[in-house]
Structure 1
Amino acid sequence: MRTLKRRGFAAVAAGASVALVLAGCSDSDGGGSDEATADVDCADYTQYTDEFGDLEGKTVSVYTSIVDPESQEQIDSYKPFTECTGVEIAYEGSREFEAQLPVRITAGNAPDIAYIPQPGFLKSLVADFPDAVVPAPQAVIDNAEEFYTDSWVDYGSVDGTLYATPLGANVKSFVWYSPQEFADSGYEVPTTLDELMALTQQIADEGKIPWCAGVESGDATGWPATDFLEDMVLRVAGPDVYDQWVTHEIPFDDPAIVESLGAVGDILKNPDYVNGGLGDVRSIAAAPWNEAGNGIPDGTCSLHRAANFYQANWDESLTVAEDGDVFAFYLPGETADDKPLLGGGEFVTAFADRPEVQAFHAYLSSPQWADAKAQVTGQGWLSANTGFDGSLLQSPIDQLSYDLLTDESYEFRFDGSDMMPGEVGTGAFWKQMVDWFVTDISDEQVLSNIDAAWPTS
């Protein structure tokens, strides 16, 4: 791993802002699971007081887009740290996080810690507020070097300086299916893109519509389509071209990207392949992304590309497992040896360097915190921390995701739109992909339109 500069040290759930304080040795946080503290040996936490001194009664403010009901899981995961160090955590979750964080920094009211959902947003904060974002302390750097791969460290760094470490992670390169349908129909899980397309045609030849898809997501409509293209760029053009595309070293409408969008269109623009149980190709633009896969257990479609966190959208009566009602397989590469992996996550970023803030950031970058978080989370969360005890994950798809995420034979890349400038990644990219479904716009033109939105400076 290259030398880091040294210094003294999913999805947003619907709901209103929440501000809560978690105090050490206190049960006044409104309830929640005690699993994370059931077997805590505070001797394991003396490292924080040894390193940072007496922390009793100190408070660290946390600002994040993670709101109810997931906020309680976050708060519960801090209990071992707060009970053993005496630090209080003032937690505030808001649906307006990304808009309000720069406002708060400008007003001199930055939180001590924020959970940044995109590396691109982190880079813009460092550029716009270079004196406000605090480089990671040495204890965090040490954890990053020991427990995270180079790619995850790079995503949390700006110009070679580590600012942020991963909080949670997700894996997006999945295709959901019905294990029972596959068994009954004699379908095999594909290991290459060609096999995936052959399976798609086989299902269509049997008189069924193989795929279902939806990209409607309120103000974020279009993002599932950007994920699909990113996955295909990794497979058709390769990770090196993907890196150049995300940073605009090549134009958005480079021939390699046109070819990749064509591969997406081979599935999503083919009326024989979509949109199972939902309508024609144009229906993809209006179908809610969190409901689009419902055709799999209903028998109206067989395949749906979505991340591991899609499991939260299945009916509670369904079993998510390899031998259950629904499960997912890895979206394969061009060959069985090509193993690109698309994912995302949030990053812990500090705006203060007081000892208690440094200690809490160190905790959040440690296997201790990842283990505590897993014990209070039912499903839909995993960690990129290689010291994390993956056996604590309670969902089979999360366990599979963690296996892929920590398998060095897979080449991980972060969600591309999250790394692009906002006017592109969450602006033109989303909008143009929606237009791609509902108009006759060509692959070349939609990509050219997105490229035109890239800022010139």
Structure 2
Amino acid sequence: MSSTLHRRLLLPIAAAGVMGLVLAGCTGTDDGGPAASDADCGPYEDYGTFEGESVEVYSTIVDVEADQLVQSWADFESCTGITIDFVGTQEAETQINVRAAAGDAPDLMIIPQPGLLQRLINDGYVLPAPESVEANVDEFWSEDWKGYGTVDDTFYAAPLMASVKGWVWYSPSDFEAKGYEVPETWDEMMELTATMAEESTATYRPWCVGFGSGDATGWPGTDWIEDVVLRESGPEVYNQWVAGEVKFSDPEIKSAFDRVGDILLNEDYVNGGFGGVNSIVSTTFNDAALPILDGNCSLHHQASFYEAQWPEGTTVSPDGDIWAFITPKIDESAGDSVTGGGEFVAAFSDSEAVQAVQTYMSSDTWANNRVELGGVISANKGLDPELAGSELGKASIEILQGEDTTFAFDASDLMPAAVGTSSFWTGMVDWVSGTRSTDEVLTFIDSTYP
């Protein structure tokens, strides 16, 4: 399928009290109302009916996920009469700047990182969210999530989908056969790692790790550091680090590097199935965990989306071929903390049809419709975890919905691009390659901060 998708469809909207829009049913009318449909239009009545209205939704989402996105609003379109013109291209993150500057911005954009969202807001392109969208976010999302769509106390963009990072993948049958227990603290994980290392062979090591990702090589290493900063120093320090108020060379961040280095820089612990520490950079993140299936490693740190990388026929479940546990707490008494990612829906125009679509996409109705189609999860608290397409998806949703869970957005996605998607990545490569010491890497990254 082409990397660019164009879809014109009829969308649905789901949320209460959308700007006083007229209530309507789903049967066809002589005056241009929605055409007859098999859809249950009850959830969409409050969005109103429209004649000849279209809304462009712009996104980096392509291929199968784009098709599922289009399906997620099919009933909404049928019931409201709005046509959603979906444009998906992997170049959307760069092209939105060109389009907005030329006065050709889309009506809505699904933005994959808060840094880009904030830049577009600061440039004056994104409009504040309508009250109906903010009401949905206040009801269905945590303050953490709302904050990522807020600038200078003005709320602009609702969250959409999410991912949970920091999973540690393993083989349940291997653990059972060798009497290993899933660790509940970081210290227990290190004790388990040391025990596993006693069984090392020419090819086996406890951990398998891969930083390779083309131009983005190094990003999997940033996820390790982010997980430890959050767990060891807490959300306040984490947020100060993102803002540049806590430097990479400060003790809190150096401590995280040292703790991660206890694993990643230890030839006795990595890199099962591929070689030693020097193979981390040349091993792609896609292939990095596969030696678990061959018995050449036991543990791999990667996000929930890695589930799609396992070969066809691999059962991912607590008693299957592969399962995962969240990176353990460092302080046993601390609450649950997870890092992750997600998208946000920003508006560049404010017609009633645009606001209706924007409101629907912030609702629990949309979240349940989309997750039921498979392949994604959301942190929307109105989402039924049982609709997730996998056991790991259900577990991820339950973590995101937890009342005591502290969620922190991927730090590298929040940092200025010169750091988050540049020097932080390359710094991790230099670090595991041994071309720079820890102190040299931290000083280097600090020097690139705007």
Q: When the two structures are superposed, what TM-score results if normalisation uses the length of structure 2? A: 0.91
1:317-361 alpha-carbon deviations (Å, 9 max, x no partner): 100001100011011111333221111101011101000000000
CA-to-aligned-CA distance 1:181-200 (integer Å, 9 cap, x gap):
00101000000000000000
Q: Does 1:201 align with 2:194?
A: yes
Q: Does 1:340 align with 2:337?
A: yes
Structure 1 position 19 matched with structure 2 position 1:
no
Q: What is the correspondence of 1:36-51 to structure 2 with a 5 Å cutoff?
A: 40-49=39-48
Asked if 1:327 is matched to 2:326, the reply is no
Match of 2:16 in 1: none
The alpha carbon displacement at 1:311 in A equals 0.2
Q: Which one of the candidate residues 245, 256, 260 is aligned to 2:241? A: 245
Please give the alpha-carbon distance, in whole angstroms, between the structure 1 residues aligned to 2:244 and 2:97. Answer: 25
Q: Is 1:357 the counterpart of 2:354 in the alignment?
A: yes
Q: Which amino acid aligns with 1:366?
A: S
Structure-1 residue corresponding to 2:285? 289
Amino acid at match of 1:309: F
Describe how 1:190-269 pairs up with structure 2 within 5 A. 190-207=183-200, 208-269=204-265
In the aligned structure 2, how far is the partner of 1:390 from the partner of 1:174?
A: 18
Does the residue aligned with 1:428 lie in a helix, a strand or coil?
helix
Q: Which of 174-183 and 335-344 deviates more?
A: 335-344
Match of 2:163 among 152, 170, 181: 170
Native 8 Å contact 1:209 1:302 kept in 2:
yes
Q: Which of residues 159, 179, 189 in structure 1 aligns to 2:152? A: 159
Alignment partners' CA distance in 1, 2:419 and 2:183: 33
Offset at 1:240? Answer: 1.6
Note closer, same or farther for the CA distance 1:57–1:337 as it changes in structure 2 (3 Å cut). farther
| Candidates 229, 246, 266, aligned match of 1:270 | 266
Is contact 1:191–1:335 with CA below 8 Å preserved after alignment? no
Contact kept? 2:367, 2:378, Cα under 8 Å: yes
8 Å CA contact retained: 1:170, 1:344:
yes
CA contact (8 A) 2:10 2:73 kept: no
Residues 188-243 of structure 1, C-alpha deviations (whole Å, 9 max, x = no match): 00000000000000100122410001011112111111111100111222222111
Q: Which residue of 2 aligns with 1:69?
A: 64
Question: CA–CA distance in 1 between the matches of 2:223 and 2:11?
Answer: 41
Aligned to 2:345, the other structure's residue is in SS state strand
1:98-143: per-residue Cα shift (whole Å, max 9, x none)?
Answer: 1111011001110001011111111111112x1x211100100110
Q: Which blocks of at least 5 consecutive residues in structure 1 are unaligned? A: 1-13, 26-37
5+ long unaligned stretches in structure 2 = 13-36
Q: Which stretch of the first structure deviates more once superposed, 277-286 or 192-201?
A: 277-286
Structure 2 Cα separation of the partners of residues 209 and 287 of structure 1: 15
**Amino acid of the structure 2 residue aligned with 1:365:** S
Residue 389 of structure 1 deviates from its aligned partner by 1.4
Counterpart residue identity of residue 373, structure 2: V
Structure 2 residue 83 is the aligned partner of structure 1 residue 88: yes
Secondary structure, in 3 states, of the residue corresponding to 1:176?
strand
- What's 1:121 paired with? 116
Structure 1 Cα separation of the partners of residues 429 and 61 of structure 2:
27
2:281 match: secondary structure: helix
Q: 2:231·2:331 contact (CA, 8 Å) conserved in 1?
A: no
1:94 alignment partner AA? T
Q: What is the aligned-residue identity percentage?
A: 47
Distance across 2 between alignment mates of 1:382 and 1:185 = 33
Shift of 1:39: 8.1
For residues 232 and 314 of structure 2, what CA distance do their matches in structure 1 show? 34
Q: Deviations over 1:238-269 (max 9, x none)?
A: 22211111111121211110110111111111
Q: CA deviation at 1:16?
A: 1.4
Whole-Å separation in 1 of the counterparts to 2:11 and 2:365: 17
Structure 1 pair 367/205, CA: closer, same or farther in 2 (3 Å)?
Answer: same
Could you tell me which amino acid in structure 2 is paired with residue 285 of structure 1?
A: V
Please report how far the alpha carbon of residue 147 of structure 1 lies from its aligned counterpart in structure 2 after TM superposition: 0.6
SS of alignment partner, residue 161 of structure 2 = strand
Paired residues for 1:310-325 under 5 Å:
310-325=306-321
Rounded Cα–Cα distance in structure 2 between residues aligned with 1:302 and 1:24 = 45
Q: CA deviation digits over 1:11-36, x for unaligned, max 9?
A: xxx961111111369xxxxxxxxxxx
- State yes or no: 1:60 paired with 2:47: no
CA distance in 1, matches of 2:279, 2:2: 28
How is 1:378-417 mapped onto 2 (pairs within 5 angstroms)? 379=375, 381-417=376-412
Distance of 1:57 and 1:39 partners within structure 2: 21
One-letter amino acid matched to 2:60: S
Q: Which one-letter code corresponds to 2:354 in the other structure?
A: V
User: What is the total number of aligned residue pairs between the two structures?
Assistant: 422
Kindly indicate whether residue 136 of structure 2 is the aligned counterpart of residue 139 of structure 1. Answer: no
Q: Give 3-state SS (helix, strand or coil) of 1:169's partner.
A: strand
- Following TM superposition, by how much is the alpha carbon of 1:175 offset from its aligned partner in structure 2, in angstroms? 0.2
Match of 1:7 in 2: none
Code of the residue aligned with 1:387 in structure 2: it is G
Q: d(CA) in 2 for partners of 1:357 and 1:325?
A: 45
Give the superposition deviation at 1:428.
Answer: 0.8
Q: Which residue of 2 aligns with 1:184?
A: 177
- TM-score, normalised to structure 1, is 0.90
Whole-angstrom CA distance in 2 between matches of 1:409 and 1:430:
31
Matched to 1:42, the amino acid is: C
